[in-house]
Amino acid sequence: MLSTSSLSDRVAFVRDHTTLAPVPLVPELRVHTATDVTPLWRATQAWLGTFGLDVPFWCVPWAGGQALARHVLDHPALVRGLRVVDFAAGSGIVGLACARAGAASVRAIDVDPLAEAACVLNAVANGVALEVSCADVVGSSVDADVLLAGDVWYERASAARFAPWLTEVARSGVHVLTGDPGRSYVPADLRELARHEVPTSRDLESTAFRLTRVLSFDLSTS
């Protein structure tokens, strides 16, 4: 089972089934990326001996994460010298951008153990330090100054968990930003900070580009 496999085994799996490639909107960063998602999806299920798994979200740079990473690198003062959480990190591109922008610390968190491995590999590839963990932190307090949630609004059930929690995190004084390429369940009352036309995977998005907004939960923060 994936939960009992060693981190080194997971790192080897990610390395063997991906190619290190520049992030389209953020070419300053390189991440381990699937050249074709479907074969990797099948290989993951075969490796685990489990079928019906979700898409391996860690294997491509999703539009919401790309937009957030671009925004951070264009506005490094957002994170410079601060403690950052990259929530639902996937491949870790948002956390990588924060580290590059001078964050004091970056914690990349995801519930998928393979995402944890991908973040470890991608941190090494980009020469930055990330604290990587595999955990479900929704509902918990956040010991950070900034929390960034990449592309998390694609499912009704998960969005219903994330929105009230992220709102409470923002009310506690944490600067909360998210990226949204037009997902169905993004909260309607967030403030738009920027827009980017983001290159995407046709395998997963059925389009070459998605107009993606950078949104703030912190209505009093520019």
Is 221 inside any structural domain? Answer: no
pTM, entire model: 0.90
Over 90: is that where the pLDDT of 16 sits?
no
Beta-sheet strand order (sheet of 175-180) = 131-134, 105-110, 83-87, 146-149, 175-180, 209-216, 191-199
Is 45 inside any structural domain? Answer: yes
**pLDDT given for residue 20 in this prediction:** 97
**pLDDT given for residue 55 in this prediction:** 65
Is 16 inside any structural domain? Answer: yes
**What is the mean pLDDT of the segment spanning 2-25?**
87
Is 222 inside any structural domain? Answer: no
- Which of 153-157, 192-196, 202-206 has the least mean pLDDT? 202-206
**pLDDT given for residue 56 in this prediction:** 72
Over 60: is that where the pLDDT of 105 sits?
yes
What tokens does 185 get? 């369940």
Is 98 inside any structural domain? Answer: yes
Q: How confident is the model at residue 42 (pLDDT cuts 50, 70, 90)?
A: low
Contact present, 54 and 157 (Cβ < 8 Å): no
Q: How confident is the model at residue 208 (pLDDT cuts 50, 70, 90)?
A: confident
Count of the separate structural domains present in the chain: 1
Give the CATH number, domain containing residue 79: 3.40.50.150
Range of the domain at 171: 2-216
**What is the mean pLDDT of the segment spanning 9-18?**
90
- Which of 80-84, 118-122, 131-135, 216-220 has the least mean pLDDT? 216-220
Q: How confident is the model at residue 1 (pLDDT cuts 50, 70, 90)?
A: very low
Is 101 inside any structural domain? Answer: yes
**pLDDT given for residue 221 in this prediction:** 45
Over 90: is that where the pLDDT of 95 sits?
yes
**pLDDT given for residue 222 in this prediction:** 40
Is 55 inside any structural domain? Answer: yes
**pLDDT given for residue 48 in this prediction:** 58
Over 80: is that where the pLDDT of 11 sits?
yes
**pLDDT given for residue 54 in this prediction:** 62
Contact present, 94 and 86 (Cβ < 8 Å): yes
Cα–Cα distances in Å, from 63 out to 9, 116, 153, 215? 28, 19, 12, 13
**pLDDT given for residue 44 in this prediction:** 63
**What is the mean pLDDT of the segment spanning 74-98?**
98
Is 187 inside any structural domain? Answer: yes
